Amino acid sequence: MKLVVARSAGFCFGVKRAINKAFEVAETEKNVFTLGPIIHNPQVIDALSKRGIGVADNISDLKKAGAKKVIIRTHGISLEDRNRLEDEGFELMDLTCPYVQKAQRYAKLLKDEGYQVVILGDIEHPEVIGLKSYAGKEAWVVKDSEGLPKEIKNRAGLVVQTTQPVDELKKLVSRMIEQTRELKVYNTICSSTALKLKETEEVAGGVDIMLVAGGRNSANTTQLARLCENLSVPTHHIETADELKEQWFRGAGKVGLTAGASTPDWIIEDIIKVLKGYGRT
Ligand code: SF4
C-alpha cells in the first residue's frame, strides 16, 4: 500500500505568513484579537486561543473584550471597517495576504479611473466584501459569467477573488467583451490555488481513495474535496487524524492525501503517522 501526498498540501504563502506572525505576537503581547477567525481552520484557531489570541466577530465585540491590537486576517477587511477600527483607536496588525491587497488596489484604481467595476467571486466571502468596498458603490459582484447584468456600462473593469477558477474568468471575459466597448481586466487569481487544484487532480487520478484534510468551513478545502468526488474517487474530507477509520483503506492499493491552504503541517503529519500505523505507506 502506498501513500501519495500532494506537494502543495497545506498552508499557502499568505496563510503561512499570517499564522507565523500571529504566533510571534502572541509571545510578547496581550489583548490581541483577530476580527473574524484568522483562517478557516478550527484547530489553528484553538491553538492561537490557548496562546491568548482571541476572536471577535465585530467591532463592538472587540470593544467589549478590551482588545488593544487587532489582527486583520488574510482575506482582508472592508475600507469602512478599517476606517472605523482606526477611528476607535485600535492598533492594527495587517496580515492581509499581499495578493489580496493587490486585488484591492486594482479595484480602487479601476474605480478612480471611472470604470464600472465587476468582481468575479462569492458575494458573501469576506475577501469579496473587502474588494467591493474599494470598487465603489456601482460595483457588481458576479459568481459566474451567467450572472453578468445587462446594465453593465460600456467602460468596465474586472478584478477576481483570488481563489476563483481561471476557466470561469475566461468565460466571463468573453461575455464582457460582447457587452462593453472598453474592458480592462486584472487577473488577480492566486497561482497557489490553481497549483493546489492541479496537483490534487493529478494525485486523485492515480489512487484508489483520497483524503482531503482541512476545516469543514474552509472553502478551499471543500473545493478540493468536490474536485476529487467529481473524479469519482472515493473521498473523505477530514479535519484531523482522529476521524480516520481503518476500514476505509481495506483493499486500497494507493491512498492520496491533499490539504487545503488553511491546514497546518501538524495535522498533515498526524494523518501520515496514523496511516503508517495501519501499514498503508
Ligand atoms: S490562497 Fe493565495 S491569495 Fe489566498 S492567502 Fe493564500 S497565497 Fe494569499
Structural domains present in the chain: 2-10+192-277 (3.40.1010.20), 13-97 (3.40.50.11270), 99-189 (3.40.1010.20)
What is the grid cell recorded at 14?
499568505
**How many whole angstroms from 102 Cα to the centroid of ligand 1?**
11
Residue nearest to atom 2 of ligand 1 (CA): 190
Instruction: List residues bridging with 119 in a β-sheet.
Output: 141, 159
Residue nearest to atom 8 of ligand 1 (CA): 14
Whether 127 is catalytic: yes
Q: Are 128 and 122 in contact (CB under 8 A)?
A: yes
How far is the C-alpha of 281 from the C-alpha of 276, rounded, in Å? 5
Residue of 24, 27, 113, 127 with catalytic role:
127
Give residue 190's identity as a one-letter amino acid code.
C
CB 139 less than 6 A from any atom of ligand 1: no
The closest alpha carbon to 10, from 46, 48, 49, 43, belongs to 43
**Residue 56 CB: number of other CB atoms within 10 A?**
17
**Residue 186 CB: number of other CB atoms within 10 A?**
17
The closest alpha carbon to 207, from 255, 166, 135, belongs to 255
CA 198, 203, 206, 207 dihedral sign is negative
Quick one: which H or E segment has residue 134?
A: helix 126-135
CB 118 less than 6 A from any atom of ligand 1: no
> Which conformational region is residue 97 in: left (phi greater than 0), alpha (psi within -120 to 50 degrees), or beta?
beta
Q: pLDDT tens, position by position, for the chain (281 residues)?
A: 799 999 999 999 999 999 999 999 999 999 999 999 998 899 999 999 999 999 999 999 999 999 999 999 999 999 999 999 999 999 999 999 999 999 999 999 999 999 999 999 999 999 999 999 999 999 999 999 999 998 888 999 999 999 888 999 999 999 999 999 999 999 999 999 889 999 999 999 999 999 999 999 888 899 999 999 999 999 999 999 999 999 999 988 999 999 999 999 999 999 999 999 887 55
Cα–Cα separations (whole angstroms), residue 3 to 171, 233, 273, 279? 37, 15, 11, 10
Per-residue pLDDT, 281: 57
**How many whole angstroms from 250 Cα to the centroid of ligand 1?**
36
CB 12 less than 6 A from any atom of ligand 1: yes
Residue among 13, 220, 223 to mutate when testing ligand 1 (max atoms within 8 A of CB): 13
pTM for this one? 0.88
